[in-house]
């Protein structure tokens, strides 16, 4: 079966021609898949019956199913567990803001980056997600909500730059005016800092926001929590982010998860100010979400406030990320992990 939901318009044209259909059918089919979000080819009312039957024989519509939905009582955050066709489980999150619905999607099953505080990477990488599996996280959530999704953050499980081609294609399809038409300005892709890929992304001609998982003001501390820091020096990571800003005009967001006693002292805040050195960036401070497999603790509230105030006093733009859906399990892969473990134990 051909995964036509992962195809861009050009690929779809070739595909329909091979089935003996006129080229303009590709655009109609694209709109059925990506704007009407069909569940069955029978819905494609402007395609001939014969063509629809042919599609059923040769093409798949991703059979991804929401197996559980968790709803926060605190802030209306919803977390979704999806079962993929091959039985793998991924998670996605819907956050409700005044400006609309934001969906956080996963880009891989598992992850091979090994960040010490992150649950997604504990069992390593299983596989990349296809373009259609990333699209379907948004499509399924939009359909289940019955509300438009206006923002996307690629901050779920996985390292998007490790699934680069699929991420770029995902962005192009979901921002297409023949699809959901989500503005590229409302899409954020977060990376642990794969230098060559940040540069490549800068050259794609997209206007999405790049978020860098910084988490430390120098290589020494960064190496203790992020193995990727052994591969790319911070100065090269920052220089790639500068290049991204230069090429796209989009301000880069720096993520900084505060871990008690590791990176949350005023000394680190001072070094952080030096590191960003007047750049037009934004720092997102994230109180680390402790995972039971590791011994990291959240910085206390006062410490977080001091850290933020120091940055602001020095003219560095910083916000503390609101913790959403605290009551329905924490960040990045914790939900999936808990689910898989409870299946194993049952
Ligand atoms: N691989 C990408 C995107 C996924 S993680 C990246 O590294 O950016 C999204 C963000 O959540 C990253 O900044 C990541 O470091 C952070 N994160 C992961 N686990 C966390 C935890 N337990 N507490 C706080 N932040 C966490």
Q: What DSSP state is assigned to residue 321? A: P
Q: Could you tell me what percent of the chain has a pLDDT over 70?
A: 95
106 contacts 137 by C-beta, under 8 angstroms: yes
List alpha helices for the chain, DSSP H: 9-18, 25-34, 49-58, 131-145, 164-174, 195-202, 219-225, 234-248, 266-276, 301-313, 334-345
pLDDT at 310: 98
Burial 134-144 (b: 16+ CB within 10 A, else e): bbbbbbbbbee
Contacts of 1 (CB under 8 A, 6+ apart): 58, 59, 60
Question: Over 70: is that where the pLDDT of 332 sits?
Answer: no
Question: Over 80: is that where the pLDDT of 289 sits?
Answer: yes
For tokens 């992020």, the residue is 226
- Give the Å distance between the CA of 45 and the centre of ligand 1: 43
Atom number of ligand 1 nearest to Cα 226: 15
Q: Which of 92, 116, 117 to mutate to test the pocket of ligand 1 (most atoms within 8 A of CB)?
A: 117
* Strand, helix or coil for residue 65: strand
pLDDT at 295: 87
Atom number of ligand 1 nearest to Cα 290: 22
- Give the Å distance between the CA of 286 and the centre of ligand 1: 9
- pLDDT tens-digit map of 20-79: 999 999 999 999 999 999 999 999 999 999 999 999 999 999 779 999 999 988 888 999
pLDDT at 76: 86
- Any ligand 1 atom below 6 A from CB of 263: no
31 contacts 178 by C-beta, under 8 angstroms: yes
For tokens 């090429």, the residue is 247
Q: 74 versus 153: which is more confidently predicted?
A: 153
Token code pair at residue 117 = 């505080």
Q: For residue 69, how far is the Cα from the chain centroid?
A: 19
pLDDT at 333: 64
Question: Over 60: is that where the pLDDT of 346 sits?
Answer: no
In angstroms, rounded to a whole number, what is the distance separating the alpha carbons of residues 41 and 54? 10
- Any ligand 1 atom below 6 A from CB of 258: no
- Give the Å distance between the CA of 332 and the centre of ligand 1: 6
Q: What average pLDDT does the chain have?
A: 94
Q: Mapped to the 3 state alphabet, what secondary structure does 202-256 carry?
A: HCCCCCCEEEEECCCCCHHHHHHHCHHHHCCCHHHHHHHHHHHHHHHCCCCEEEE
Which range among 29-38, 136-145, 265-274, 286-295 shows the weakest confidence by mean pLDDT? 286-295
Q: Could you tell me what percent of the chain has a pLDDT over 90?
A: 87
- Any ligand 1 atom below 6 A from CB of 255: yes
- Give the Å distance between the CA of 179 and the centre of ligand 1: 29
- Judged on CB neighbours under 10 Å (0-12, 13-18, 19+), 261 is exposed
pLDDT band at 230 (very low <50, low <70, confident <90, very high): very high
pLDDT at 330: 53
The residues annotated as belonging to the active site are 91, 332
Atom 5 (ligand 1): residue with closest C-alpha?
A: 155
């Amino acid at each position: 079966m051909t995964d036509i939901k992962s195809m861009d318009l050009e690929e779809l044209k070739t595909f329909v021609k091979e089935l003996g259909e006129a080229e303009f059918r590709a655009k109609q089919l694209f709109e059925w898949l990506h704007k009407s979000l069909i569940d069955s080819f029978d819905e494609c009312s402007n395609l001939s019956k014969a063509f629809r039957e042919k599609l059923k024989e040769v093409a798949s519509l991703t059979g991804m199913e929401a197996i559980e939905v968790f709803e926060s009582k605190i802030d209306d955050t919803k977390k979704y567990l999806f079962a993929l066709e091959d039985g793998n489980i991924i998670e996605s999150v819907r956050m409700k803001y005044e400006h609309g619905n934001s969906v956080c999607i996963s880009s891989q099953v598992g992850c091979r980056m090994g960040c010490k505080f992150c649950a997604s990477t504990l069992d390593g990488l299983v596989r990349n997600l296809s373009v259609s599996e990333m699209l379907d996280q948004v499509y399924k959530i939009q359909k289940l909500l019955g509300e438009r999704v206006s923002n996307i953050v690629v901050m779920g499980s996985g390292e998007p730059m490790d699934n680069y081609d699929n991420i770029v294609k995902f962005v192009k399809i979901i921002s297409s005016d023949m699809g959901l038409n989500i503005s590229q300005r409302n899409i954020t892709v977060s990376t642990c800092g794969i230098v060559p890929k940040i540069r490549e992304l800068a050259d794609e001609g997209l206007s999405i926001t790049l978020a860098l998982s910084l988490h430390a003001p120098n290589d020494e501390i960064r190496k203790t929590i992020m193995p990727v820091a052994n591969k790319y020096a911070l100065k090269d990571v920052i220089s790639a982010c500068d290049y991204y800003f230069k090429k796209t005009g989009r301000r880069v967001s720096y993520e900084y998860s505060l871990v008690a006693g590791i990176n949350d002292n005023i000394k680190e805040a001072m070094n952080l100010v030096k590191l960003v050195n007047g750049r037009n960036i934004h720092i997102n401070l994230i109180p680390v979400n402790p995972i039971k497999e590791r011994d990291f603790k959240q910085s206390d509230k006062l410490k977080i406030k001091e850290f933020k105030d120091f940055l602001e006093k020095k003219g560095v733009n910083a916000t503390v990320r609101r913790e959403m859906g605290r009551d329905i399990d924490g960040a990045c892969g914790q939900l999936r992990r808990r689910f898989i473990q409870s299946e194993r134990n049952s």
